[in-house]
Amino acid sequence: MNSSPANFVQRFLPLRLPRVCVAVIASDPAQLLDKAEGLVRDNPFLEFRLDYLPKPGLALPRIRSFFEMFPHAVVIATCRRATSGGKFRGSVASQLELLSKAAAAGCQLVDVELQTALKCKGEQLQKLRSRAALILSFHDFHGTKKLPETLEKMRNYPADFYKVVSTATTLTDNVTMMKFLEKESDRHSLVGLCMGEQGIISRVLGVRAGSAFTFASVSEEERTAPGQVTAQDLRSVYRIEQVDVATRVYGVAGDPIAHSLSPIIMNTALRRENVNAVYLALHAKALKDLLTCVREIPIHGLSITMPYKEAILKYLDNTDSHTTKIGACNTIVRAQDGKLYGFNTDTAGVVRPLEQRIPLEGARILVLGAGGAARAAVFGLKERGCEVFILNRTPAPAQKLARQAKARTIKRQDLRKLAFDVIVNATPVGMSNSGESPLHENEINAKYVFDMVYDPPETRFLKAAKARGAQIIPGIEMFVHQAARQFEIWTGKPAPWDDMLRVVTIALQERVAKAAKK
Ligand code: NAP
């Protein structure tokens, strides 16, 4: 931080800023300030994005009244120009004038982009800085590169905070950003993060690497930058206020990953059991990129999902014999020496719900499918003494699996003659309200029907099973059990099963309600 000629931060700001600044946008001044009033009790640190207003100057009297009502609020005034990624189409002079008036109305910080600084005289900036703490900002909307060089350029302009925002196109870009923060934050007050879906690591962990604070949105619909997380999620899901050097990092890696429910379920479990850890959704477009982060951040454990469950095996130092047999890994543990160990908890996800209902020894179980999840089910059920049958769209993988696991294959035309204790659907048929079912109603002859598909919560297959008088086991139970087993492997503690089931059920119901509204 540059502290000449007076310590501006001390003059304008509380000693310690909150970690989360919530960006507020609106289409008119009344809406902006109404939103701010609703937010400020739980979020004392706000950013007013004046550039989203058609006539930002009209907001100034309301901002003044806001500070009379909420003198403890801390607010950044930002009026980003369109040329720098914002919405303000006025000149540099009108931008500076507006920010100066916002400072006079009570905003303790103002944000000015490097592009604006390059276009104005040093005295203009310093005059503004005599009224409010100055955040000099730079946004790279394409990548994460030359961060030290960018800071060097910015340092030509004395400021109270230097905000360097880049775009993560790989997970490793987060490592670059955090190394930069770790190195430079001793000498300057920095705010740093990566935008984009892949920037989640820096949004949550940047504060422990040295970012003075980070930004959040009011809601998913009101994001002011790609990948921005809502303030509520940063606080209650990722517990950003508690993140410290000892916080262990876990995550789910896949491609795509945006709709994964794993962060909700795992962060709930970690919070409930007081584990100092955070669990992030990692959009890995390449396994090598993911493995760099595992080493560098470091990441202590991973859930692995599509399409990497098989491909990850060759990068692991060891796997248990069950995982080796299945040939697919959904859980990684990084040991203290950095070695990676692979497990498969999908088996627990199938076996646990079943053994809670029936004795498995000798049970006749039909598994539909012969992919990774089916393999986990077949090997796991065989180990428990079940008589396992396999039916797959393509015969060859079913025959191979049957040979390996000492199970039997059956033909679809024989189905109507056969009865089972359980039928397990291990295919994706029925996902995302496709309305499809892997079997016709008259092909279902079983006491229990277990669908691994959990979105929608009640699939067409489960409805057909109910109509045939079978008991149903929804895929959500498998999801919770496989996650619970991961939690146990990572933490050594029993998983808070009820809480995990509750949050994931609510999340799925919300998803269904949202889809119905569309
Ligand atoms: P996978 O390795 O890709 O295997 C897919 C299997 O489904 C293959 O046997 C494939 O048959 C079959 N299949 C695909 N499309 C089909 C269709 N239209 N009609 C008939 N069969 C079809 O996938 P996976 O990892 O095993 O996952 C399977 C399902 O289980 C997915 O829906 C996944 O979300 C779900 N799952 C749920 C949980 C949970 O926690 N609830 C955990 C793991 C997996 P072919 O050999 O003919 O291609």
Range 310-332 average pLDDT: 97
Range 342-365 average pLDDT: 98
Alpha-carbon distance of 235 to 241, in angstroms, equals 7
More confident residue, 240 or 10: 240
Same domain, 42 and 119: yes
Same domain, 356 and 233: no
CA-nearest residue for atom 37, ligand 1, is: 452
Cβ(266) to ligand 1 under 6 A?
no
Three-state secondary structure of 142-166: CCCCCHHHHHHHHCCCCCCEEEEEE
What single-letter DSSP state applies at residue 227? T
Q: Does any domain span residue 510?
A: no
Mutate to test the pocket of ligand 1, among 366, 450, 452 (most ligand atoms within 8 A of CB): 452
Choose the final residue of a domain: 435, 453, 473. Answer: 473
pLDDT at residue 197 is higher than 90: yes
Mutate to test the pocket of ligand 1, among 393, 433, 479 (most ligand atoms within 8 A of CB): 393
Residue 462: CATH number of its domain = 3.40.50.720
**CA nearest neighbour of 198 among 296, 283, 85:** 283
Same domain, 340 and 351: no
Q: Does any domain span residue 512?
A: no
Residue 333, amino acid: V
Q: Does any domain span residue 490?
A: no
Residue 72: CATH number of its domain = 3.20.20.70
Identify the band that residue 11 occupies on the pLDDT scale cut at 50, 70 and 90.
Answer: low
pLDDT at residue 160 is higher than 90: yes
Catalytic residues: 309
Full strand arrangement of the beta sheet holding 471-473: 408-409, 387-391, 364-368, 420-425, 446-451, 471-473
Residue 391 sits at φ, ψ, to 5 deg, of: -130, 120
Q: Does any domain span residue 193?
A: yes
Same domain, 306 and 358: no
- Nearest ligand 1 atom to alpha carbon 393: 47
Same domain, 139 and 288: no
Identify the band that residue 2 occupies on the pLDDT scale cut at 50, 70 and 90.
Answer: very low
Range 322-344 average pLDDT: 97
Same domain, 214 and 260: no
Choose the final residue of a domain: 187, 215, 245. Answer: 245
pLDDT per residue as tens digits for the range 51-100: 999 999 999 999 999 999 999 999 999 999 999 999 999 999 999 999 99
Question: pLDDT value at position 7?
Answer: 54
Q: Does any domain span residue 36?
A: yes
What single-letter DSSP state applies at residue 187? T
What's the pTM? 0.93
Please check whether residue 189 is in contact with residue 163, taking contact to mean a CB–CB distance below 8 angstroms.
Answer: no
Please check whether residue 27 is in contact with residue 50, taking contact to mean a CB–CB distance below 8 angstroms.
Answer: no
Same domain, 31 and 151: yes
pLDDT per residue as tens digits for the range 389-432: 999 999 999 999 999 999 999 999 999 999 999 999 999 999 98
Choose the final residue of a domain: 245, 275, 297. Answer: 245
Same domain, 259 and 317: yes
Question: pLDDT value at position 1?
Answer: 45
Longest Cα pair distance anywhere in the chain, in angstroms? Answer: 89
Cβ(369) to ligand 1 under 6 A?
yes
Question: pLDDT value at position 6?
Answer: 44
Identify the band that residue 28 occupies on the pLDDT scale cut at 50, 70 and 90.
Answer: very high
Same domain, 204 and 228: yes
Q: Does any domain span residue 115?
A: yes
Q: Does any domain span residue 311?
A: yes
Find where tokens 């403890």 sit. 72
Same domain, 93 and 122: yes
pLDDT per residue as tens digits for the range 235-291: 999 999 999 999 999 999 999 999 999 999 999 999 999 999 999 999 999 999 999
Question: pLDDT value at position 71?
Answer: 95
Percent of the chain with pLDDT over 90: 94
Cβ(229) to ligand 1 under 6 A?
no
* Per-position DSSP letters for 30-97, written without gaps between them: HHHHHHHHHHTTT--EEEEEGGGSSSGGGGHHHHHHHHHH-TT-EEEEE--BGGGTSSB-S-HHHHHH
pLDDT per residue as tens digits for the range 438-476: 999 999 999 999 999 999 999 999 999 999 999 999 999
Question: pLDDT value at position 515?
Answer: 81
User: Residues with Cβ < 8 Å from 483, sequence gap 6 or more?
Assistant: 262, 265, 266, 269, 303, 345, 495, 500
Structural domain for 186, as ranges: 6-245
Range 2-23 average pLDDT: 69
Same domain, 115 and 89: yes
Question: pLDDT value at position 16?
Answer: 79
pLDDT at residue 136 is higher than 60: yes
Alpha-carbon distance of 265 to 261, in angstroms, equals 6
Q: Does any domain span residue 78?
A: yes
* Per-position DSSP letters for 467-499, written without gaps between them: HTT-EEE-HHHHHHHHHHHHHHHHHSS---HHH
* Number of domains into which the chain is organized: 3
Residue 290: CATH number of its domain = 3.40.50.10860
Alpha-carbon distance of 233 to 322, in angstroms, equals 36
CA of 335 to the centre of ligand 1 (A): 31
Same domain, 151 and 15: yes
